[in-house]
């Protein structure tokens, strides 16, 4: 009789089910045996809400793990692309250096050493092949036969004569034009 007068136990709350997964599983087994009869039972409703929350937490954890793996893969791809770009840059630089060395080899000049670019060149290190030799005297039998011409160290002759003054130069041009005019007019 005492058992008959006892109050019905309070239904377990959602937080109780979340704290005790064994209790949640037992309630879900009991509620799933008679779904139509326990559809509106407070304890079964709370158990279903607890299951929904557990599933939402698991999905969020799975999504976070997926995002972490995706970010890791994106970072690996970025590193791979950066390494490939660096390799292409180095290959292009090596190709440029080879082409420069081939070009300089035509003139008997060795390419500059990349490690010593900060040091100034001393006179003994300067290339001599291919550079014209400056001559103080005209070369006989060549283009510099005229003693009034000398070189400045380059290939072109340089006149050593004093340039005429602009006024006399202008007069000589006028005389030449008059002479040509008279010859053409006869």
Q: Which residue has the higher pLDDT, 33 or 120?
A: 33
Is the per-residue pLDDT at 82 higher than 90? yes
pLDDT above 70 covers what percent of the chain? 65
Q: In the predicted model, what is the mean pLDDT of residues 4-23?
A: 83
Q: How far apart are CA 25 and CA 55, in angstroms?
A: 13
Q: In the chain, where are the structural domains located?
A: 11-105
Residues 6+ apart with CB under 8 A from 44: 27, 30, 31, 38
CB 153 within 8 A of CB 134: yes
Rounded Cα–Cα distance for residues 147 and 60 (Å): 97
Strand segments (E) across 5-82? none
What's the whole-model pTM score?
Answer: 0.42
Choice between 39 and 155, residue whose per-residue pLDDT is larger: 39
Per-residue pLDDT of 116-156, as tens digits, reads 455 555 555 555 555 555 555 555 544 445 555 555 555 65
């Amino acid at each position: 009789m005492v058992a008959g007068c006892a109050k019905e136990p309070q239904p377990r709350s959602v937080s109780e089910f979340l704290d005790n997964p064994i209790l949640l599983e037992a309630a879900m087994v009991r509620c799933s045996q008679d779904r139509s009869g326990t559809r509106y039972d407070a304890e079964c409703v709370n158990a279903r809400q607890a299951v929904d929350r557990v599933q939402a937490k698991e999905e969020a954890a799975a999504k976070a793990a997926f995002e972490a793996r995706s970010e890791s893969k994106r970072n690996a791809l970025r590193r791979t692309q950066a390494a490939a770009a660096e390799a292409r840059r180095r290959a292009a630089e090596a190709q440029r250096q080879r082409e420069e060395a081939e070009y300089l080899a035509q003139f008997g000049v060795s390419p500059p050493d990349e490690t010593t670019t900060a040091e100034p060149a001393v006179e003994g290190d300067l290339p001599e092949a291919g550079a014209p030799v400056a001559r103080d005297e005209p070369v006989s039998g060549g283009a510099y036969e005229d003693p009034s011409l000398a070189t400045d160290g380059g290939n072109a002759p340089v006149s050593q004569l004093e340039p005429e003054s602009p006024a006399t130069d202008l007069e000589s041009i006028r005389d030449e034009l008059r002479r040509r005019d008279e010859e053409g007019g006869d």
